[in-house]
């Protein structure tokens, strides 16, 4: 799925992030069109002799890594030194993720990593988070979780598949509610509340997790660092 800004801007960000990966590193491989540029750049680096192992966060990133020759491992066997991943929106280092419905594994890998490097094109930057928050739910929990989201003032929308009738089913066999909360004034509070709802597997708010943001524009990249 193509989302966000130009392909050139995504490439700037993705290729910039790939350069932070050191020889011998274990790398979390995020999901999405911007991260795909980082994975392809890592494939080229491997071809030139870089020794890395990738931990994919989705079927999509696993297949791309295999295609471009990045050797793979798992969280059972290795711990990532760095994770590279995209975002649907970034504000002050906080993120909304999950446009590719992979945020549960993405958060798992990001949390395990020593360093989380986020790659976005400049259309994703905002002063405050305001795009709908993807919430992965157990299939049986879809209706009760939607009711709780509405009570919280959100508008839940079951994500539909693009090429068939019916909902998107995640790599984990669950469903996704895209929950519109308008402008999110208290990301920490909302993240805590969402995590506590029974039936929620994971939500797409990544608060205080990013260490670096590589922001691509058509012909440049800037790097923001967070303590």
Ligand X SMILES: O=C(CO)[C@H](O)[C@H](O)COP(=O)(O)O
Residues belonging to the active site: 106
Helix (H, G, I), strand (E, B) or coil at 159: coil
Longest alpha-carbon distance in the chain:
54
Residues of each annotated binding site: 31-34, 85-88, 97-100, 124
Among 98, 132, 187, 199, binds ligand X (CB under 6 A): 98
Strands across the sheet containing 94-96? 89-91, 94-96, 205-206
Q: Closer to ligand X at the Cβ: 30 or 156?
A: 30
Q: Please give the radius of gyration of the chain, using alpha carbons only, rounded to the nearest integer.
A: 17
CA distance 200 to 194: 7
39 is a contact residue toward ligand X (CB under 6 A): no
Sites for ligand X among residues 101-160 (CB under 6 A): 101-103, 106
Among 34, 61, 170, 174, binds ligand X (CB under 6 A): 34
Please provide residue 27's backbone torsions phi and psi, each rounded to the nearest 5 degrees: -125, 125
86 is a contact residue toward ligand X (CB under 6 A): yes
Smallest distance from the beta carbon of 51 to ligand X, in angstroms?
26
97 is a contact residue toward ligand X (CB under 6 A): yes
Smallest distance from the beta carbon of 163 to ligand X, in angstroms?
17
56 is a contact residue toward ligand X (CB under 6 A): no
Q: Closer to ligand X at the Cβ: 21 or 84?
A: 84
54 is a contact residue toward ligand X (CB under 6 A): no
H or E stretch at 206 = strand 205-206
What residues contact 151, with CB distance under 8 A and at least 6 apart?
none
Residues of each annotated binding site for substrate: 31-34, 85-88, 97-100, 124
Please count the other Cβ atoms lying within 10 Å of the Cβ belonging to residue 150: 12
Residues that bind ligand X (CB under 6 A): 3-4, 30-35, 85-88, 97-103, 106
């Amino acid at each position: 799925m193509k989302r966000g800004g130009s392909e050139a801007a995504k490439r700037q960000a993705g290729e910039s992030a790939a350069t932070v990966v050191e020889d011998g590193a274990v790398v979390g491989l995020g999901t999405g069109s911007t991260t795909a540029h980082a994975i392809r750049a890592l494939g080229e680096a491997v071809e030139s002799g870089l020794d890395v192992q990738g931990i994919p966060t989705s079927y999509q990133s696993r297949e791309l890594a295999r295609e471009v020759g990045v050797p793979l491992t798992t969280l059972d066997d290795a711990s990532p030194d760095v994770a590279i991943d995209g975002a649907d929106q970034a504000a002050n280092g906080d993120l909304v993720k999950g446009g590719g419905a992979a945020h549960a594994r993405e958060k798992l890998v990001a949390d395990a990593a020593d360093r989380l490097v986020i790659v976005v094109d400049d259309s994703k930057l905002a002063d405050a988070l305001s795009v709908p928050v993807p919430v992965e739910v157990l299939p049986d929990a879809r209706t009760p979780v939607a009711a709780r989201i509405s009570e919280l003032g959100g508008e839940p929308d079951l994500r539909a598949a693009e090429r068939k009738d019916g909902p998107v089913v995640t790599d984990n066999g669950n469903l996704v509610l895209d929950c519109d909360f308008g402008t999110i004034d208290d990301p920490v509070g909302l993240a805590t509340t969402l995590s506590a709802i029974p039936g929620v597997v994971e939500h797409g708010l990544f608060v205080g997790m990013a260490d670096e943001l590589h922001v691509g524009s058509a012909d440049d990249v800037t790097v923001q660092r967070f303590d």
